[in-house]
Amino acid sequence: MVLEKLGDSLKQAFRKISSLSSIDREAVESVIRDLQRSLLQADVDAELVIELSDSIKKKVLSGKTPPGMTLKEHFIKVLYDEIVGFLGKGEGGLEIKPQRILLVGLFGSGKTTTAGKLAKWFRSRGLKPALVACDTFRPAAKEQISQTASSLGIPAYTEGKSPKDVAAFALRNSKEDVLIFDSAGRNALDEELARELKELAKAAKPDEVLLVIPADIGQAARRQSEEFGKLVGITGVIVTKMDGTAKGGGALAAASVSGATVKFITTGEKLSDIEAYDPKRFVGRLIGYGDLQGLLEKAREAGIGADAKSAERLMSGKFDMNDFYEQIGQMQKMGSMSKIIEMIPGLGGMKLPKGTLDVQEEKMRRWRYAIDSMTPEERKEPDLIKASRISRIAKGSGVPESEVRELLKYFRQTQKLMKMAKGGKGFRRGPFAQIAKQFGLGGM
Ligand SMILES: Nc1nc2c(ncn2[C@@H]2O[C@H](COP(=O)(O)OP(=O)(O)OP(=O)(O)O)[C@@H](O)[C@H]2O)c(=O)[nH]1
Ligand SMILES: [Mg+2]
């Protein structure tokens, strides 16, 4: 996974907040110290790290906790929002419309490969792309473009001696919606490259000039995007090779602070290894919590938690088929359980057996029918349910026996999870304990 290490340490920071017994200056500082360490390891500029830390500290300790939020929730929210803001702004990607895109960047940054990836990206969104081989500097560059284009089944325009000639030829002869202009790299953005790119831009008249930067340059991405921005003008950045380095965080933060928008990241050598960059989604995935805000809102909308008695029972470790029935109903309102689990700090990081919680809605509905067909005793003591009862329940509910068995198995797993979580520390008093309780995951 991309930036696994940064993700792990961020996850830990959130978990730590959940486990704190009170939020005071010392607690905030200790979480921030952890955060600083992990950001520095991701090659984020030290000065930026300090700025971020100060901003988080100020917001959390200002005493202005939004109404309806505990200080702990507030802390989590501030941390999350600040990290998102830090790693980028706005949504990435490009508008799905006819346009011309010029890719610029230093040697080996991934321009030519990215040209192919972008073509594929647009094609799968219903547009007709073509590649334009404006790297006349490296002998094999035109060949590389032609090969990529033919593997995608799209045209490549390669005719012309100089970059601007190739561009002009393409503009005269192409009928495609999206033209992607590759350009030559250099060791540095020197005068020669600047002149060539300016000339090329004049001929190609691009709507977008995207700087291609490899993630492994880390914080140096700031200077590079500033320089390219000043000398040739850029409308955005693509950070490549996110798969091969721990420095991606530094590159993203640096590009963002330079004022550029990161439009895409690429994560491998295959033509499909590209994605529109959305800092919110990226951070959500990085820390494995999904969207924190969405979770809070959903929980409120669903009006869950009315049944405090059931929650009490769960806290005390009792958990029978009646509780399970209720849970399933609540989950149906909220989406799959594994998704919900991912969104709960402290649980998101819990290592659960794969597939344990992956229950589809359709199945939940049938399970409820099956539980409806159980007797009150069976619901109180599911252990009573043996073969003959399974077959009776299956007949009564119209749910296949195999699924009734699956339901029982899932019930037992959940019961075990409840016990396990009850034994664990930290989460019991965490900010999300209330929400967890409402999901029937209480007592953690
Ligand atoms: N792992 C990985 N490799 C990548 C990625 N993007 C590009 N590469 C590799 O990086 C190398 C250079 O890519 P190119 O697309 O040729 O780079 P370029 O900027 O066009 O290079 P020049 O034209 O020589 O300046 C190739 O081996 C690519 O396969 C990526 O996202 N992940
Ligand atoms: Mg190239």
Interatomic CA distance for residues 393 and 149, integer angstroms: 59
Which comes out higher in pLDDT, residue 300 or 124? 124
Q: What is the pLDDT of residues 164-213, one digit of tens each?
A: 999 999 999 999 999 999 999 999 989 999 999 999 999 999 999 999 99
**Structure token digits, residue 333:** 């309102």
Where do the H-state alpha helices sit in 62-100? Answer: 71-86
Boundary-marking domain end, from 231, 261, 283: 283
For residues 415 and 273, membership in a common domain is answered with no
Mutate to test the pocket of ligand 1, among 148, 269, 275 (most ligand atoms within 8 A of CB): 269
Q: Which residue matches tokens 């009564």?
A: 396
- Residue ranges making up the domain that contains 220: 99-283
Give me the mean pLDDT over the 318-322 stretch: 80
Does residue 346 fall inside a structural domain?
A: yes
Q: Does residue 216 have its Cβ closer than 6 Å to ligand 1?
A: no
> Looking at ligand 1, which atom is closest to the CA of residue 265?
31
Give me the mean pLDDT over the 52-70 stretch: 86
Where do the H-state alpha helices sit in 87-187? Answer: 111-123, 141-152, 163-173
What pLDDT does residue 196 have?
A: 94
For residues 18 and 147, membership in a common domain is answered with no
Give me the mean pLDDT over the 248-260 stretch: 94
Question: Which ligand is nearest the CA of 143, by number?
Answer: 2
Does residue 443 fall inside a structural domain?
A: no
For residues 135 and 175, membership in a common domain is answered with yes
For residues 140 and 219, membership in a common domain is answered with yes
For residues 147 and 272, membership in a common domain is answered with yes
Judge whether 115 and 149 are in contact, CB under 8 Å: no
For residues 176 and 265, membership in a common domain is answered with yes
**Structure token digits, residue 332:** 């149906």
For residues 239 and 149, membership in a common domain is answered with yes
Which comes out higher in pLDDT, residue 361 or 230? 230
Which comes out higher in pLDDT, residue 243 or 319? 243
Give this prediction's pTM: 0.69
Does residue 444 fall inside a structural domain?
A: no
For residues 245 and 297, membership in a common domain is answered with no
CA distances to 271, 351, 357, 402 from 366, rounded to whole Å, are: 41, 28, 16, 12
Interatomic CA distance for residues 17 and 108, integer angstroms: 42
Q: What is the pLDDT of residues 192-202, one digit of tens each?
A: 999 999 999 99
What pLDDT does residue 131 have?
A: 98
Interior/surface letters 70-96, b for 16+ CB within 10 angstroms, e for the rest: ebbbbbbbbbbbbbbebbbeeebebee
Does residue 159 fall inside a structural domain?
A: yes
What pLDDT does residue 234 have?
A: 96
- Residues within 5 Å of ion ligand 2 by Cβ? 111-112
Interior/surface letters 227-265, b for 16+ CB within 10 angstroms, e for the rest: bbbebbebbbbbbbbbbebbbbbbbbbbbbbbebbbbbb
CATH of the domain at 121: 3.40.50.300
For residues 274 and 423, membership in a common domain is answered with no
Give me the mean pLDDT over the 380-407 stretch: 91
| Angle made by CA atoms 62, 67, 70, in degrees to the nearest 5 | 70
Q: What is the pLDDT of residues 99-155, one digit of tens each?
A: 999 999 999 999 999 999 999 999 999 999 999 999 999 889 999 999 999 999 999
